[in-house]
Amino acid sequence: MTALKIFRHDCFAAHRVPPGHPERSERIETINALLDATFSDCPQIAPPRAEYDTLCLVHDAAYVDAIFAAAPDEGLAHLDGDTVMCADSLEAALTAAGGAVEAARLVLTGEAERVFVAARPPGHHAEPDKAMGFCFFSNAAIAAKYAISAHGLNRVAVVDFDVHHGNGTQAAFWDDPRTIFASSHQMPLFPGTGAKHETGVGNIFNAPIDAGADGGVLAEVWRDYLLPAVAEMRPELIIISAGFDAHKRDPLAGLELEAEDFATITTLIRGLADECAGGRIVSLLEGGYDLEALRDSAAAHLNALR
């Protein structure tokens, strides 16, 4: 069995946004160039689209219908000030969610130990009934709910080191004790959620971080607080919301991580997966908006997974 498999698809670059928008096609083109140059030894597979009923494990059916209806035949449709659809965006969003679900299936059936999904648009801001923050479907939450419903898991954890709080994942998990959400994120910052007192039914663990914090601070938060809290709940699958916008070069935030700090955090998460989940990890690309920082941070993350 290959330890690390990678999902990629041409449709992710076809999701177009207005000039100057940070969540642009060049992000995935940068990741794909990295995959070609450095990770060609890992199997690279095109993921399927998500099924409608699978999306509805997290999202209201009326919301899913509204996203389908909003997809324009030409031009751009603005769902909010940040979240934009072109004619190819629905295909990309469905395939990003489908990649997350198929990645979970692969690790749960033993066809891979770890899978990285190189997809856009990202997902962790999409709430059950709302698109926001560049996100249409809550990919990590959908994969977690799929693992529980289709494979009978009792506990699934999403761990999120994106610099922005994953409000959509938190909302999807809020009252479901079978799911666990742990997040480090800069605060104050978009979307304004993620205070430490936001705990759901005892399954939500938030670690807000002040601007200016470096990788040592983040590693300490994960090592001493977030991962021990998750470990106590004994998850059987670990899903990573892998955002790289905590890098010091990123234009949308103010943390001070270097690329190698993402390798440190990923290695800590691997230790958790080895302890609780038979090593099973699904990693989903979220944020990261400086292309050089995105490339180097993703390389560090993937090398730690490989």
- Evaluated on CA atoms 120, 123, 126, 129, the torsion sign reads positive
- Residue 219 contacts residue 268 (beta carbons within 8 Å): yes
Q: What is the rounded CA–CA span in Å between residue 69 and residue 2?
A: 40
| 260: its two tokens | 């190698």
Angle at 167 between CA 60 and CA 169, to 5 degrees: 60
Q: What is the rounded CA–CA span in Å between residue 107 and residue 58?
A: 21
User: 129-152 burial, b for 16+ CB within 10 Å, e for fewer?
Assistant: ebbbbbbbbbbbbbbbbbbbeeee
- Residue 283 contacts residue 116 (beta carbons within 8 Å): yes
Which helix (H) or strand (E) covers residue 25, if one does? Answer: helix 25-38
Angle at 25 between CA 21 and CA 31, to 5 degrees: 125
- Active-site position among 9, 125, 164, 247: 125
164 belongs to the catalytic site: no
SS3 category, 262: helix
First to last CA, the chain: 13
User: 94-109 burial, b for 16+ CB within 10 Å, e for fewer?
Assistant: bbbbbbbbbbbbbbbe
| 49: its two tokens | 């689209």
| 150: its two tokens | 């289709």
- Residue 209 contacts residue 184 (beta carbons within 8 Å): yes
Q: Which residues are catalytic?
A: 125
